[in-house]
Each structure stands twice: as C-alpha cells, then as structure tokens.
Amino acid sequence: MSTAVGAPATPIDAPRGVRFPHVNYLNANYGIKSWLLTLDHKRIALLYLASVTFFFFLGGVYAIAIRLELMTPAGDLVESQTYNKLFTHHGVLMVFFFLIPSIPAILGNFLIPLMIGAKDLAFPRLNLLSWYIYMAGGIITLWALLSGGVDTGWTFYTPFSTTFSNGYVVAAGLGIFVNGFSSILTGLNFIVTIHTMRAPGMTWFRLPLFIWAHYATSIIFILGTPVIAITILLVALERLARIGIFDPALGGDPVLFQHLFWFYSHPAVYIMLLPSMGIVSEVIATFSRKNIFGYTFVAFSSIAIAVFGFLVWGHHMFTSSQSIYAGMVFSFISYAVAIPSAVKVFNWTATLYKGSISYDTPMLYALAFIGLFLIGGMTGLFLAALGLDVHVHDTYFVVAHFHYIMVGGALMGYLGGMHYWWPKITGRMYPEGWARFAALVIFVGFNLTFFPQFLLGYMGMPRRYHAYPVDAPVWQVLHVMSTSGASIMGVGMLIPMVYFIWSMRYGKFATANPWPATGLEWRTASPPPTENFGTTPVVTWEAYEFRPMEETEVIGPGDTPAQPIDGMQPTDGKNP
Amino acid sequence: MATHEIAATHHGPAAAHAAHVPAEHSAHAALAHHFDNLEQQREAGSLGMWIFLAQEVMFFGRLFLAYVIYRTRFPEAFAAASNHLNWKLGAFNTAVLICSSLTMALAVWAAQVGRTRRTQVFFMALTGLLGATFLGVKAVEYYDKYRDHLIPVRGWFHWEQPLSANVSEQNIQMFYWIYFAMTGLHALHMIIGIAILLPIMYRAWKGAYSPEYHAPVELFGLYWHFVDIVWIFLFPLLYLLGAHYAGGHAAAGH
Ligand code: HEM
Ligand SMILES: [Cu+2]
C-alpha cells in the first residue's frame, strides 16, 4: 500500500530467486504497514492465520502438560492447584482463541468473497478491526494467564468463579468478552456480504455449501456471542462488587449462570463444527468428482443446526437441579438436533457412492472427519440420554465425546481445508507425500489419545482430577496409552507446520485450479490478485458441476473455460 | 417496517447488479471501491445495521431475562424498590426521548428529500440536544441514588425505609443492580450515539448528504430509534412497576 516503489526482498520467493509471474495480493506491495493496515480480506485472513496458529500451539503445550501429569496415578508432576490452571488455560485458549475463530476468520475470510465473486467483504474496515479486537482480547487473556492464571475451568461455573476462586477471573473474562466482539463483527460481515455482494448469476442455490455453513455459523455468532459477553460481564461485576445475581446468599441463583453460559456455549460448539462441515462438503465433492448428493438438504441442514442448536443447552445441566421435565424436553430436542447432522453424514456418504475418488490429503482429512464425527456425535446422543448421563456426567467419557467432535471433527476439517486451499492462498503446492504421512500420524495419534478416554470415563474416571487410584492398574494403562497418543499427535501437528512454511519458499507453483474443482475461487489466479477478479464474474453454472476426470482434462471442469476468467495466465505448476 | 426492509434485501443483489449500469453511479465520491454501485452499498449498510441491532437485542435481552426471573422470585421487594424511583423524572425523560426520535426522523427526511444542509443540521442538533437532556436528567437521578446509598455495591448499599415481612434488603439491592445495569447500559448507548452523531452533523454541514446519498444519516437513525425503544421498555418495567406499591407505609411520601 505504502512502499510499493523499489520493492525490497520478496517475502515469498520462487526457487532460486524466480518471482511470481503475476501481480497478486501477496506481492502487490510490501512492508509491515501494508500488512497491519491492510483492508484486503485475504491479507487479514493471513494475519488471523499467524495469530490463531500461535494460540493453537500455546494451547497444545498445556495439553501436553496435562497428559504428562496423568501418566502416573499419583499427582506428582504438578500440584492440584496448578493442574486446575493447566486445564483451564488449555480450554480457554483452544475454545475461544483457536477453534471459534479458526475456520471462519482464516478460511472464511479468505474464501467467502472469492467464492461468491466479490471484490472484498462488505465492510473491510470492520474486518480489520475484528482482527485487532481479537489480538486485544488475546493479549489481555494471555496477561491473565501468565500473571497468575485462572483455575475455574473454561466454563467459569459460579459460585466458584465469583466467590471462591483466587485466580485472575476478571482479567481472563475481560479478554474473552473483548474477543467476543471480534466474532460478532466477523459474523455480521459475512451475513451482509453473502446477502448483498454475490456476483450476477450467483443465486442462493448455486452457492458453495461452504458459504451456507458460514452463513449458519454467522447466525450463531450474532445471536449467541452477545449472550456470553453479558454473562461474563455479570461474573466480573459479581466478583468485583458482589451485586448478588449469582450469589445465593444475596438471593441470586448460581444455576442461572449455567443456563446463560450454555445458551451460548452449546451453539458455540456448532460454531466450531459447522465451518468444518462446509469444508468437508467442498472436499468430498471435488475428490469424488460429483455433485453433493441432496445439495438443498445439506444447505438447509446447516441452518437447521444453527436454529435447533439454540434449544438444547439444558443437556449440560441434567444433574444440576434442573427440573426433570425440562430435562426430558432438552433430551428430546438434543436427539432432534442430531437429525440435520446425520443428514450431512448420509449425504456425504451417498456422494462418495460411485464417485471417482482420489485420496489426496484434503480428502484424507475429510474422510477422517466423517468417521470421527460419527463417533463423537453418537456418543453425544448417549450423553443426551437422561439415565446414562447421570452415570458418565463429568467423567472422561464427556472429555472423549467433545474431543472427538472438536479435534476429530473441527480440527480435521480445518487441516483438510488448509491443505485444500493452500495452493490458492500461497500459490504453492505443499508436498503431497509428507502431507499424507502427517494426516496418518495425526489420525492414529488422535484415536490413541481419545478412545481410551471413553473407556476410562465409563469406568468412572472423573474429569479435572490430577490423580487417580493406584489399585486400578487398567486405568494407568489407559492413561499411558492416551499420553503416548497425544505425543504422536503432537509430532503429527508439527509436520504440517514445517512443510507449510517450507512450501512457501520451495513448493511447486500451483496452477489456478490444481485439483481441479468447480468453485469461483478456482477461476482466478493462484494467488489471486488484490481485487480477486479482473472483471466481475457472471455465473451461469450450478454448484459442483463436475464432469468425469478424462473430460475435465480436455475441456475444463465446468461450462466455462479452464482458464481463469480474468484472463490471467496461470503457471504450468512446475518449477521454472 | 423491519421485515419489509430486510425482505427487500433478500432478492436484492443479483437484481441490483443486473438492473443498474455501474457507470451511472460510479462517479459518486462516497462509493467504496468494492461495491458496484451506491444502491448495493446502501443495502449492505442497512442490512448490517439491522443485524447489529439483532445482536443488541440479545445483549439487552439477557438483562431483561434476569429482570423477569428475579422479579417473579421477589415481587414485593421489586415493587418496594421500584416505588422509590422518581417516576416523574422517568416520565419526563421518556417524553424527551420520544421527541428526539421525532427530530431524528425529521433529520433523515430532510436528507432524503434534499432540504438544505441548515435544515438537516438543525434537526440533528436538536436530536443531540434532547439526548444530552436525557443524560443530564439521568445523572441527577443517579446522584439521588448515590446520596440515598442505593448504589448496589457490597458495603455501600443501605435501605433506610422499613422492610415488610417478605422483603429483604438483599432483594431490594437485587432490583437496584438490575436498575443500574439496564439504565447504565442504555445510557452508554446514548453516549455512543451522540458521539457518532457529531461527525455526521459535521459532514451534513459540509453538504455531504443528498437524496442520492444519505445512508449514514439513515443508519444512524435506525440505531437511535432502537436505543429509544429500549427505554420505552425500561420505563414501565423499572419505574411504573411499583408506582402504586403501598405495602410499606411511606409510599405516599414520594
Ligand atoms: C456437534 C458438535 C459438538 C460439540 C463440539 C460438542 C461439544 C461438547 C462439549 C465441549 C461438552 C462438554 C462441556 C463441558 O462439560 O465442559 C459436551 C458435552 C455434551 N454434549 Fe456435546 N458436542 C457436540 C455435539 C453433541 C451432540 C450432537 C449431542 C447430542 C445430541 C451432544 C450432547 C452432549 C451432552 C449431553 C453433553 C453433556 C455431558 C455431560 O456433561 O454430562 N453433543 N459436548
Ligand atoms: Cu451441548
């Protein structure tokens, strides 16, 4: 933006000094200011990528510490007080600073305008502001964690958080409160963009399912996040001024907090999951070269999940003095909300049927998603059964359940999406062999970590304890399995980190449409120019209009030429 | 009106693209580079504002929920506490805000039909002035509560009137924190509103708004009306709830 003249060393350089053959959003201008003040949604996405990755690895460090402590029955590595902080910090960082922003703020930000044929999001300044708000929230929270820490668990249950905890609850809460506004702005921007910025011909039912998923996610951002914001504000006020809202001694009700918290936090689990489902829809279609089976059902199931997701929060409170009749209703609706999720799984499976499937890395992650989400979702139904939940509530069974969803589902989808769009984002291919290897390592490590936890929980191992009985040797066996799995997964996560960075410099150049896929984002150069498209595209084809691979190679993927529509020449995908 | 506005944007974009030749408007200085035309930009802005307001409803909604829960739990304490609020000042403020909504609507109208910048600025200034009046009265009320030790902070709060059998001081304090939380959040929105109005007024004075382009005025109007409506709910819930409360005996004194 500012220092375009006399461009200094290219940040992303082709092998042996060869530059990108075309002007794109990465090399259009240089300098720290051109990044920190950018209004380009693609650059903002990369700002998010850097900061979200940082929080992810920090959260991972805490996870490793937790797993090390649990290798032995005695609480020998850290004190119970410290252990409380470890799992709280892990949860807060992973939920609020990694999973919630990850896919929407990185891939959603980057792709939504490209996929609908717009030049940018509707409100570029709000978009940049949301990143700064995210950073402010992150820094406040980091400060709280480092200067003393919080020991309430990521759920901040009252009255512990308001009356008894000695941690930095107010500061951590403030960080999460601030961060919430970044989610709200992102959601607002997405909804407005999807409504008003679609290219001519891009009707609602030609939108990629990724867009539908983000639309649904944004609804939750808008209607859910303010609730958690005000709830956390109330906890802070209660701590500071004893206003009494959650304090039984003053006539308040601590369980009210749980209602308010889960009213947001159950929908929030779908914030984490829906974007991932959007990615899986894209990837499954591309790598089985078929239209998604029952497109409209999959599209509306996203909206149904967003809506029904608001009605099931009580399934977290079956054992909390909630009325048994309310419990029955919440249990029933929890079963109902599984239906739209199941619609997706069935339709993806039906899409695979007779598809011409290729097992590139994004597809491996998508398939992993389907399997792992299936286990996570089904165990969610177990938990939503009133009788069973009394037995396994607050045990490792619950921990395993939500990790199957959040890691096995959301994170796998995120990794699949990063691989799938990496060529578009950087203009470079990642090394396929290494990537498949890493996917395998992560998959094995993941299952080894979390499957034993189902067994542990079913046998009665409570969550959030740093010690367990010595006279149940099988518990230790399972815990050791879990810890070794976590180590394997940890290594698996580092591999993509290394080869992604490596590929930014040494990877092969990507063509405009390397897979080849049908979306608009593949019909502009890789990486795209700052304005995304030379001229506003006109859409005359349906979503996912795939042709058989042989035909595609000759005449291109859809009704339009294989060349990017702005006429920019892609490179041939080989190193010069 | 709300549904109409939003419905209008549903089928908007594709039609807007097709119907408007970009060149027709593209020269306008207020058009951001990533929009095709002013029409699309206005639609985006107004939808954005409606969504923002939906978010606000959820934000305020939790406090209304807290109000409903604790009011049903401690009806008498709430009536007694509410009885102590000055409903006359509340009613005056309600009238002030309704007038300010009217002047704001007139400001939007003035921009829409292209009245002189003087007229536009006049109505905007009146709106701001009425808003400031509201805040002034609110400050007086807050000061009264401070003087009467009704700030609901531990160690501070003290209720001097006699308590009847079902009314505890703690429950009265509960009413007062809800009162302060809700009216405080509302006042914060008023302050932010006035802060946003000032630059808009300045640009109106510079002649920026015309029948062709007046989106900021219109969007700000939406926000302002929303903040007014919140007050329309707050006034009866907080002030009138206990106006006839006679459970104590000093009710007549106010
Ligand atoms: C779709 C993505 C899902 C995610 C990300 C997710 C995440 C979570 C999380 C984080 C918790 C534990 C919170 C805590 O206590 O700290 C949890 C618990 C629970 N989940 Fe899920 N969940 C998902 C889907 C489902 C589904 C589909 C159901 C059932 C229909 C379900 C039912 C439950 C129940 C009943 C609990 C409470 C268990 C207990 O505490 O006893 N979940 N889930
Ligand atoms: Cu839930």
The string of pLDDT tens digits covering residues B173-192 is: 889 989 999 999 999 999 99
SS3 letters for B140-197? HHHHHHHHCCCCCCCCCCCCCCCCCCCCCHHHHHHHHHHHHHHHHHHHHHHHHHHHHH
- Taking contacts as CB-CB distances below 8 angstroms, the residues of chain B near A244 are 152, 170, 173-174, 177
- Compute CA distances A264 → A336, B53, B185, whole Å: 19, 18, 21
- Taking contacts as CB-CB distances below 8 angstroms, the residues of chain B near A223 are 54-55, 58
Nearest CA to ligand 1 atom 28: A380
CATH of the domain at A275: 1.20.210.10
- Taking contacts as CB-CB distances below 8 angstroms, the residues of chain B near A252 are 70, 174
pLDDT (tens digit per residue) in A313-368: 999 999 988 889 999 999 999 999 999 999 999 999 999 998 989 999 999 999 99
Q: Do B44 and A123 touch (CB under 8 A)?
A: yes
Dig out the tokens for B105 from the structure.
Answer: 């609507």
- Which residues are CB-contacts of B122 (< 8 A; sequence separation ≥ 6)? none
pLDDT (tens digit per residue) in B125-169: 999 999 999 999 999 999 999 988 888 877 788 888 877 777 888
Query: B8 falls in which pLDDT band (50, 70, 90)?
Result: very low
Mean pLDDT of B80-89: 90
The alpha carbon of A78 and the centre of ligand 1 are apart by a number of angstroms equal to: 28
Instruction: Give the atom of ligand 1 at the shortest distance from the alpha carbon of A406.
Output: 5
Choosing from A489, A510, A531, the residue where a domain stops is A510
Residue ranges in chain A whose pLDDT is less than 50: 1-18, 554-576
- Compute CA distances A229 → A233, A269, A491, whole Å: 6, 16, 36
Decide if pLDDT at B252 tops 90: no
Q: Name the closest ligand to CA A258.
A: 1
Phi first, then psi, for residue A17 (nearest 5°) are 75, 5
pLDDT given for residue B3 in this prediction: 36
Mean pLDDT of chain A: 89
Q: Name the closest ligand to CA A376.
A: 1
Nearest CA to ligand 1 atom 41: A393
**Amino acid at residue number A256:** L
Facing A196 at nearest CB: one of B44, B153, B171? B44
DSSP secondary structure letter of residue B214: -
Q: Do A222 and B51 touch (CB under 8 A)?
A: yes
B25 in any annotated domain: no
Element (H, E) at A85: helix A80-92
Decide if pLDDT at B25 tops 50: no
* Nearest residue of A to residue B70, measured between CA atoms: A252
Give the global pTM.
0.89
- Taking contacts as CB-CB distances below 8 angstroms, the residues of chain A near B181 are 237, 243
Number of domains in chain B: 1
pLDDT given for residue B27 in this prediction: 56
Q: Do B14 and A200 touch (CB under 8 A)?
A: yes
Distance between CA atoms of B145 and B147, rounded to whole angstroms?
Answer: 5
Nearest CA to ligand 1 atom 17: A402
Cis peptide preceding A527, ω within 30 of 0? yes
Distance between CA atoms of A415 and A395, rounded to whole angstroms?
Answer: 28
Instruction: Give the atom of ligand 1 at the shortest distance from the alpha carbon of A377.
Output: 27
Range of the domain at B213: 2-8+35-251
pLDDT (tens digit per residue) in A359-370: 999 999 999 999
Mean pLDDT of B94-100: 96
Report whether B52 contacts A192 (CB < 8 A): no
Report whether A238 contacts A244 (CB < 8 A): yes
Distance between CA atoms of B70 and A57, rounded to whole angstroms?
Answer: 43
Facing A250 at nearest CB: one of B33, B173, B181? B173
* Nearest residue of B to residue A203, measured between CA atoms: B14
Q: How far is B34 from chain A (nearest CA, A)?
A: 5
Report whether A539 contacts A115 (CB < 8 A): no
B197 in any annotated domain: yes
Instruction: State whether A460 and A557 are in the same domain.
Output: no
Distance between CA atoms of A517 and A342, rounded to whole angstroms?
Answer: 26
Instruction: State whether A443 and A515 are in the same domain.
Output: no
The alpha carbon of A313 and the centre of ligand 2 are apart by a number of angstroms equal to: 5
A100 in any annotated domain: yes
Find the radius of gyration of the CA atoms of chain B. 22
Distance between CA atoms of A465 and A150, rounded to whole angstroms?
Answer: 16
- Which residues are CB-contacts of A293 (< 8 A; sequence separation ≥ 6)? A347, A348, A350, A351, A353
- Tally helices (H) and strands (E) across chain B: 9, 0
pLDDT given for residue A551 in this prediction: 55
Choosing from A459, A488, A510, the residue where a domain stops is A510
Choosing from A481, A510, A539, the residue where a domain stops is A510
A32 in any annotated domain: no
- The CB density around residue B252, as the number of other CB atoms within 10 Å, is 7
* Mutation test residue for ligand 1: of A315, A337, A390, the one with most atoms within 8 Å of CB: A315
Query: B171 falls in which pLDDT band (50, 70, 90)?
Result: confident
A23 in any annotated domain: no
B24 in any annotated domain: no
CATH of the domain at B236: 1.20.120.80
A208 in any annotated domain: no
pLDDT given for residue A244 in this prediction: 82
Facing B62 at nearest CB: one of A122, A200, A230? A230
**Amino acid at residue number A439:** A
Q: How far is B2 from chain A (nearest CA, A)?
A: 16
B28 in any annotated domain: no
How far out from the chain centre does Cα A125 lie?
A: 23
pLDDT given for residue A124 in this prediction: 95
- Compute CA distances A139 → A55, A65, A135, A150, A172, whole Å: 11, 22, 6, 15, 10
Q: How far is A224 from chain B (nearest CA, A)?
A: 8
Number of residues that this document lists for chain A:
576
What is the predicted ipTM? 0.86
pLDDT (tens digit per residue) in A226-259: 999 999 989 998 888 888 888 888 888 999 999 9
- Taking contacts as CB-CB distances below 8 angstroms, the residues of chain A near B33 are 119
**Amino acid at residue number A375:** I
Range of the domain at A230: 39-123+133-199+213-510
Closest C-alpha among A453, A316, A328 to residue A383: A316
Q: Residue A509 in 3-state DSSP?
A: strand
Q: For chain B, which residues lie within 8 Å of any Cβ of chain A, measuring from their own Cβ?
A: 9-10, 12-14, 16-18, 32-36, 40, 43-44, 47-48, 51-52, 54-56, 58-59, 61-63, 66, 69-70, 73-74, 152-154, 168, 170-171, 173-174, 177, 181
Instruction: State whether A405 and A553 are in the same domain.
Output: no
DSSP string across A371-411: HHHHHHHHHHHHHHSHHHHHHHTTBHHHHHHHHHHIIIIII
Number of residues that this document lists for chain B:
254
Q: Which residues line ligand 1 (CB under 6 A)?
A: A 155, 269-270, 272-273, 315-316, 334, 337-338, 341, 377, 380-381, 383-384, 389, 393-394, 398, 401-402, 405-406
Dig out the tokens for A118 from the structure.
Answer: 């717009």
Instruction: State whether A356 and A495 are in the same domain.
Output: yes
Instruction: State whether A531 and A461 are in the same domain.
Output: no
Please, what's the b/e burial string for A169-202 (b: 16 or more CB within 10 A of its CB; e: otherwise)? Answer: bbbbbbbbbbbbbbbbbbbbbbbbbbbbbbbbeb
- Taking contacts as CB-CB distances below 8 angstroms, the residues of chain A near B168 are 251
Report whether A162 contacts A483 (CB < 8 A): no
Instruction: State whether A537 and A495 are in the same domain.
Output: no
Report whether A268 contacts A406 (CB < 8 A): no
DSSP secondary structure letter of residue B239: I
Number of domains in chain A: 2
Instruction: State whether A545 and A406 are in the same domain.
Output: no
B15 in any annotated domain: no
A20 in any annotated domain: no
B103 in any annotated domain: yes
A27 in any annotated domain: no
- Compute CA distances A320 → A160, A260, A325, A326, whole Å: 15, 14, 13, 12
A29 in any annotated domain: no
Distance between CA atoms of A403 and A457, rounded to whole angstroms?
Answer: 13
Query: B247 falls in which pLDDT band (50, 70, 90)?
Result: low
B183 in any annotated domain: yes
B54 in any annotated domain: yes
Q: Do A195 and B12 touch (CB under 8 A)?
A: yes
Q: Residue A570 in 3-state DSSP?
A: coil
Distance between CA atoms of A305 and A391, rounded to whole angstroms?
Answer: 27
Largest pairwise CA distance in chain B: 75
Report whether A424 contacts A526 (CB < 8 A): yes
A244 in any annotated domain: yes
Dig out the tokens for B64 from the structure.
Answer: 């209304």
Q: Do A252 and B40 touch (CB under 8 A)?
A: no
